[in-house]
């Protein structure tokens, strides 16, 4: 596993938007984004100042990309 950067929720949202995800809804402090072309859904916690590494790794996996591509899109 590659080194994961420390990121804020807004950084993850920016990458999700670049990948074609759109805001679907919000449930409490979690924003749910959806991509129509492949029906993928990701959940981004928007309450912490920084997203934990394991959580970030799961979000990246759900986006369908690898860590290196995520870093390029930041």
Q: What is the pLDDT of residues 8-59, one digit of tens each?
A: 999 999 999 999 999 999 999 999 999 999 999 999 999 888 999 999 999 9
In a domain, 13, yes or no: yes
CA distance 45 to 59: 10
Please check whether residue 1 lies inside any domain of the structure: no
- pLDDT at position 14 is 96
Model's pTM, two decimal places?
Answer: 0.89
Per-residue pLDDT at 2 exceeds 80 = no
Range of the domain at 36: 9-73
Cα 48 from Cα 65, distance rounded (Å)? 23
pLDDT tens column, 52-73: 999 999 999 999 999 999 999 9
4 within a domain of the structure (yes/no): no
**Residue 25 located in a structural domain:** yes
CATH of the domain at 20: 3.30.920.30
Residue 43 lies in a domain: yes
């Amino acid at each position: 596993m590659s080194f994961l950067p420390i990121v804020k929720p807004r950084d993850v949202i920016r990458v999700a938007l670049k990948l074609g995800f759109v805001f679907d809804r919000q449930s409490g402090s979690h924003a749910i984004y959806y991509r129509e072309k492949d029906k993928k859904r990701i959940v981004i916690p928007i309450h912490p100042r920084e997203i934990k590494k394991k959580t970030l790794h799961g979000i990246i996996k759900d986006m369908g990309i690898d860590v290196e591509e995520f870093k390029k899109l930041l």
